[in-house]
Copies of this chain bind each other. A is one copy, B any other.
Amino acid sequence: MKNLPERSRKRLVQLSQLLSQQTGRTITSLELEKLTGWSNSVIRRDISFLNCRCGASNGYKINELQTALKQFLGNNEDKKNCCIIGLGKLGETMLSKKLLDGSAFQIIAGFDANVNKTEILHSDFPLYPTTQLERVIKTEKIRYAILTVPDTAAQLTADILCKCGIWGIVNYTKTILTVPSSVAVENISLLSALSDLAAMHSDMQNITNSEYMAKMPFTEGTK
**Contact between A9 and B182, CB atoms less than 8 A apart:** no
Smallest beta-carbon distance A170→chain B, Å? 5
**Contact between A222 and B180, CB atoms less than 8 A apart:** yes
Interface centre among A17, A35, A193 (most CB of B within 10 A): A193
A218 interface residue per 8 A CB criterion: yes
**Contact between A192 and B14, CB atoms less than 8 A apart:** yes
User: Which residues between 62 and 80 of chain A lie within 8 Å of chain B, taking CB atoms?
Assistant: 72-75, 80
**Contact between A105 and B194, CB atoms less than 8 A apart:** yes
**Contact between A100 and B168, CB atoms less than 8 A apart:** no
User: Which residues between 94 and 114 of chain A lie within 8 Å of chain B, taking CB atoms?
Assistant: 94, 99-100, 103-105
**Contact between A1 and B206, CB atoms less than 8 A apart:** yes
A24 interface residue per 8 A CB criterion: no
- Chain B residues, CB < 8 A from A217: 181
**Contact between A198 and B100, CB atoms less than 8 A apart:** no
0 or 1 for each of A182-223: is its CB under 8 Å from B? (1 = yes):
101011101111111111111101110001000111101111
Of all chain B residues, the one with the shortest Cβ separation from A73 is B199
- Chain B residues, CB < 8 A from A12: 199
**Contact between A188 and B188, CB atoms less than 8 A apart:** yes
A126 interface residue per 8 A CB criterion: no
**Contact between A99 and B221, CB atoms less than 8 A apart:** no
- Chain B residues, CB < 8 A from A28: none
A144 interface residue per 8 A CB criterion: yes
Interface centre among A34, A36, A168, A188 (most CB of B within 10 A): A188
Given the contacts A73-B199, A198-B80, A190 and B99 also touching, CB distance less than 8 Å: yes
